[in-house]
């Protein structure tokens, strides 16, 4: 079994691709798997780290506005199509899988030229441009959320599989919780609010959290906050100017990055974050109530559509980035925290959105296409 997976740029595209590759390898240890990406994205770190070969081509997202840069990118992407054709012709895969983003364009089109079965996986509730354009060309579109189905009317076949994630629901014992909380320098008496903005942090969320800390507005709850590696030092300096030691803030633990995210998400009472598809999937999987602040510049505003998947079932609240400040966030937090039973019910509603056995469902669709 030979497989090409097209995945590039962000972890939200690459990690599902790696999860699919791992599932294929688990079921078929002798399977040959190659990734196609660009020279510019996280795939150059994540794919080799996962133990897979990566081939790179020229491919760019096409802006709808006419400009010199856009024309240059179109020419480069046409070149990328030729490069993808060459790779596909030489490797001779049994199937080509795309996990979202512009890299799928040239790779999937190259596969269809050679009549190779194709699958697209779309994590977002609002499908990206590449998925929309390719949906009637691939054999099967797999989606993370059922909301995406109505937005892909030309697809030949759509299956709701969910999105693969490493993070699972873990029922921590009281002693386990207390040990984690103690290691963070926090206490077990107050609820915990977990805040993060993606791997690089989110400036508007960080600004709001800084105000909450400076004004000591979090007397009734504790904060575990991943500020992002680049922004951590900036926040540290800002707090020092106010004579606040970043390592000695009451009810607060700030860190550049959280490596044990599964543990932290299962520990938290409420999660505050952006609303990328992977985050929505993880929040639903762990069954946590959330406050989402969608990234306002996400393509076609897809993060707000993602957040609405959980808001619509009563599992989350949305604060738009333009409305985010200390007052709006504090008001929403205090409203949620005062009713513990409501929080529990919100978490249960979030879990109902979660899809089990995601990798198995995806693998079944792969098997069906290549007649395993």
Task: Give the model confidence (pLDDT) of 203-259 as tens digits.
Answer: 899 999 999 999 999 999 999 999 988 889 999 999 999 999 999 999 999 999 998
Entry pTM: 0.89
> Average per-residue pLDDT in the chain?
92
Q: Which residues pair with 271 in a beta bridge?
A: 194, 290
Give alpha helix (H) positions in the chain.
11-27, 43-49, 68-91, 104-113, 129-134, 174-183, 203-214, 229-241, 261-267, 277-286, 302-311, 326-337, 340-353, 358-370
Question: Which tokens is 280 given?
Answer: 């929505």
Query: What pLDDT does residue 372 have?
Result: 64
User: Look-up: residue for tokens 């510019």?
Assistant: 40
What's the average model confidence in pLDDT over 11-33?
Answer: 95
CB 60 within 8 A of CB 88: no
199 token code pair: 């791997």
pLDDT of residue 230: 83
Which pairing describes strands 316-318 and 32-37: parallel, antiparallel, or unpaired? unpaired
Q: Which residues pair with 135 in a beta bridge?
A: none
Cβ neighbours of residue 81 under 8 Å, at least 6 residues apart? 105, 106, 109, 110
Lookup result for tokens 């500020």? 227
DSSP tag of 136 = T
Instruction: Quote the CA–CA distance of 293 and 73 in Å, as a whole number.
Output: 31
Cβ atoms within 10 Å, residue 247: 10
Residues 91, 82: Cα–Cα separation, whole Å: 14
In the chain, what are the domains?
Answer: 2-162+356-370 (3.40.50.2000), 174-353 (3.40.50.2000)
248-287 per-position pLDDT tens digit: 999 999 999 998 999 999 999 999 999 999 999 999 999 9
Question: For residues 366 and 95, is the Cβ–Cβ distance under 8 A?
Answer: yes
Query: What is the pLDDT, as a whole number, of residue 100?
Result: 78
Residues 350 and 280: beta-carbon distance below 8 Å: no
Residue-level pLDDT at 10 = 83
- 């926040």: which residue's tokens? 235
Find out whether 314 and 339 touch, Cβ atoms under 8 Å. Answer: no
More confident site: 72 or 339 = 339
pLDDT for the residue numbered 58: 82
């Amino acid at each position: 079994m030979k497989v090409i997976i097209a995945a590039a740029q962000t972890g939200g595209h690459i990690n599902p691709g790696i999860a699919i590759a791992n599932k294929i390898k688990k079921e078929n240890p002798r399977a040959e798997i190659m990734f196609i990406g660009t020279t510019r994205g996280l795939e150059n770190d994540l794919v080799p780290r996962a133990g897979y070969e990566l081939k790179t081509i020229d491919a760019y997202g096409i802006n709808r506005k006419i400009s010199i840069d856009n024309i240059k990118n179109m020419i480069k992407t046409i070149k990328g199509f030729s490069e993808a054709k060459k790779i596909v012709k030489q490797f001779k895969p049994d199937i080509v899988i795309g996990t979202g983003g512009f890299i799928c364009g040239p790779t999937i089109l190259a596969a269809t030229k050679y009549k190779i079965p194709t699958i697209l996986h779309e994590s977002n509730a609002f499908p990206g441009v590449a998925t929309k354009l390719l949906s009637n060309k691939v054999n099967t579109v797999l989606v993370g959320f059922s909301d995406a189905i109505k937005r892909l009317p030309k697809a030949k076949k759509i299956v709701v599989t969910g999105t693969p994630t490493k993070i699972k629901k873990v029922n921590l014992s009281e002693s386990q919780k207390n040990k984690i909380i103690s290691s963070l320098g926090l206490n077990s008496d107050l609820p915990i609010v977990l805040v993060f903005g993606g791997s690089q942090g989110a400036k508007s969320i960080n600004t709001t959290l800084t105000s909450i800390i400076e004004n000591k507005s979090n007397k009734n709850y504790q904060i575990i906050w991943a500020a992002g590696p680049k922004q951590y030092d900036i926040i540290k300096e800002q707090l020092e100017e106010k004579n606040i030691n970043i390592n000695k803030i009451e009810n607060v633990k700030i860190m550049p990055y959280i490596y044990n995210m599964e543990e932290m998400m299962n520990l938290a009472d409420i999660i505050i974050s952006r609303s990328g598809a992977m985050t929505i999937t993880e929040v639903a999987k762990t069954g946590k109530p959330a406050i989402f602040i969608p990234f306002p510049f996400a393509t076609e505003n897809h993060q707000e559509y993602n957040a609405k998947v959980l808001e619509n079932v009563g599992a989350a609240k949305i604060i738009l980035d333009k409305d985010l400040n200390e007052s709006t966030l504090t008001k929403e937090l205090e409203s949620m925290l005062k009713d513990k039973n409501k929080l529990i019910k919100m978490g249960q509603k979030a879990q109902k959105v979660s899809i089990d056995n995601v990798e198995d469902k995806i693998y079944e669709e792969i098997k069906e296409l290549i007649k395993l």
